Chain A
Amino acid sequence: MEDLLVYLHFVVLPQMIDALVIGVALAVVALGLTMIFGLLDVINLAHGDLYMLGGYAAFTLLGWGAGYWGALVLVPILIGLIGWGLEELGIRPLLARADRATVTLLLTFGVSLMLRDLAQVVWGTDTHAVTAPFTGMASMAQVFVPTYRLFIFGAGVLAIGATWWLVYRTRIGAVLRATAVDPGMVASFGIPIRLVYGLTFMYGCALAGLASVLLSPIYAVFPTMGHDFLVLAFAVVIVGGMGSITGAVVAALLLSQVQGLASLWIPPVWAETMVYGLMLLVLVVRPSGLFNRIGED
């Protein structure tokens, strides 16, 4: 009994805290994906590469002396603008087509290839380290957690909270939810839904940029960072329900715990496989995910 408590306290608990921190960051990325899908019916396969660009942008900005805090502010803006350009030039012309879910998926895949290659031209294939703005450990009940991880947690929760407030408690959010349900009706009220689409896409991409700055000191910056993270974020969005904001957050926390705890007992690579297995299971039992789409919740 004593042993079990010690095991839970010093092995399981720190692992859960780590998973919670990663889960919050994952939720930020998944939020962007799910909002874009909820409103535009677009599965943004370039999302992972925008996340990767965010990491490289942070690395470059730090090299230029912008400092971590400068990067934390500038990178989301930059990635948001790139996303806005992508929506304006690439996705907008396809939105009128009946098979837009398919063609936009294909388009964003092409963009993803281009971005991945461009990043290798500019930054090479090496892994770059990004230093955290502060070091040190915080401890509570003899469990030590790096202060920076606590900061990620706080910033992530703040971003999620702000998004929730924006979508569910403001006028802009009301327009957004209405557009997700019936864009034609919203347009007939004189609301420029193209702008709604553009801003949603921009906001979603900015969230990816934010998450990449937050995570870059932990995971470092490398060419395939986007692909690996995107697949996980997709699992989150699928489990939570495509286009569901609550679902993205709940599923991100759930899946990161599953992965974190499972890797205590089975090799981490198998823990990752288990996450996808769980995703398939959810799809079999409840194909539309755990929660309803934005605007219908």
Chain B
Amino acid sequence: MPQAKASGIGAESLPKPAPKPTVGDRLAQVLRAGDADNRQLRWFGLVMLAFALLFPWFAGPFYMRLAIEALLLGAVALSVDILLGYAGLLSLGQAAYFGLAAYVSSLMYLYVSQSFWLVALAVSATVAVFSLVLGAIAIRAKGVYFALITFGAAEILSKIAHNTRAIGGSDGLIGIPVPSIPLLPGVAIDLHSNFAFYNAVLAGLVLIYLGTRRILNTGFGSLLRAIRENSSRVPYLGYNPFWYKLLTYLLAAQVAAFGGLIYPLLRGFVAPNLFGFEVSTKAVVVSLVGGIGSLIGPLVGSVFITFLESVVGTYTERHLFVLGLIFVVFVLFLPDGMVGLMRHLSERRRRPA
């Protein structure tokens, strides 16, 4: 830098203006996780992503659709992890948002509009309103009561969907048209192609994952962790935990709604059991199996459990038993899930005993 030298003494000691971050830098920053020991986690994530991208090249249509389902469940699991891993809130009712989004989008497709983005907007707005109201109620209650309120609310929604003839009652809604998703002018994703559908969902989920991680790695995320660790001290720092929890709840509901938004397009029908306890708890199970508080864990856990269930299902009808057993083993022996196990192994390798 010849100019800097010419301008005399002192110029050298002035702090250099930080170079404008390039797109690559930003990407690296997004990919970098908050805590220092997350290097392995990044590699884990990249390997998983590579696997997910290669998957369509060797999978048949059945497994493609199963994978899409796993990714949608992954969205619900991710929302569980946002709440439990960052704000310390165990939600037993995330299926409420999955189901709500699925029903709202189905009704929109059937009766109002076939425009994907309009439907997405309507779903997002409905879920936002609902989650702010329910969140305000549930967050006021402490500890296990939060779990029970969310559980109860999901149960009520399920019953309402089950009992209301106008939205299909116990049969649900069928014959939902599958629109194509306009991306850019002239470019649209045709969801009739499994390949396009899979990649669109994968891309959506990766974007959601990166966005969520970005949000949770800011001061907002640190504050959430502080609230989780000691909720009663945070107010002394001048922050009201309520609003931060509520915002997190809103975020998590939106993430779960992504799964519900896409689900009707995959299956062509929705039923009251989408709200049900099974979906909510399965989301918690796969988060735990993958690893709570890692964000990537729930996605991996969801894929792992969905495929395991399918494989076990071909040998025996007792897949619930296997699921329960895996769950018990993870709770008792591997509380940090697959991500925790992997971290543990790679640390052991680095420091050979």
Contacts and interface: CB of A to CB of B under 8 A. Distances in A.
Interface of A: 41, 43, 90, 93-94, 101-103, 105-107, 109-118, 120-121, 227, 231, 234-235, 238, 242, 267, 269-270, 272-273, 276-277, 279-280, 283-284, 287-288
A117 B320 contact: yes
Nearest to A280: B152
Q: Which of B151, B321, B324 has the most CB of A within 10 A?
A: B324
A113 B137 contact: no
A113 B327 CA distance: 9
B220 interface: no
A117 B327 contact: no
B148 A114 contact: no
A116 B327 CA distance: 14
A111 B324 contact: yes
Interface stretch (B10-18, B124-132, B328-336): B328-336
B144 interface: yes
Given A106-B327, A120-B318, 7 more contacts: A41-B144, A101-B144, A102-B84, A109-B281, A110-B326, A283-B145, A288-B145
A238 B284 CA distance: 22
Interface stretch (B157-165, B248-256, B258-266): B157-165
Specify the main secondary structure of chain A where it touches its partner.
helix
A116 B155 CA distance: 20
- Specify which of A110, A114, A283, A287 lies most central, judged by the most chain B CB atoms within 10 Å of its CB: A110
B57 to A, nearest CB: 35
Nearest to B323: A113
A144 B318 CA distance: 45
Given A106-B288, A111-B328, A113-B327, A118 B156 contact: no
A276 B152 contact: yes
A107 B331 contact: yes
A41 B142 CA distance: 13
B268 to A, nearest CB: 26
A231 B332 contact: no
Nearest to A37: B144
A276 B84 CA distance: 24
Given A269-B159, A276-B155, A114 B325 contact: yes
Contacts of A273: 156, 159-160, 163
Contact of B332 (A94, A102, A235, A287): A94
Nearest to B335: A103
B153 interface: yes
Contacts of A121: 318, 321
Nearest to A231: B155
Interface string B148-184: 1101110110011011000000000000000000000
A110 B331 contact: yes
Interface in B297-353: 318, 320-321, 323-328, 331-332, 335
Nearest to B329: A110
Contacts of A105: 90, 144, 147
B216 to A, nearest CB: 19
Contact of A276 (B137, B143, B159, B325): B159
B321 A269 contact: no
23 contacts: A90-B332, A94-B331, A101-B144, A103-B335, A106-B288, A110-B324, A111-B324, A113-B323, A113-B324, A114-B320, A118-B321, A121-B318, A234-B152, A238-B148, A238-B152, A242-B145, A269-B163, A273-B156, A276-B152, A280-B152, A280-B153, A284-B140, A287-B140
B141 interface: yes
Contact of A235 (B141, B147, B152, B288): B152
Given A280-B137, A280-B153, A283-B149, A106 B324 contact: no
Given A113-B320, A283-B145, A106 B152 contact: no
A269 B277 CA distance: 17
A277 B325 CA distance: 34
Contact of A272 (B90, B147, B159): B159
B320 A116 contact: yes
A280 B328 CA distance: 30
A186 B321 CA distance: 38
Nearest to A89: B332
A91 B162 CA distance: 35
B328 A110 contact: yes
A129 to B, nearest CB: 25
B90 A102 contact: yes
- In order of increasing CB-CB distance, the 9 nearest A-B pairs are A113-B324, A110-B327, A114-B324, A117-B321, A287-B141, A110-B328, A117-B320, A273-B159, A107-B331
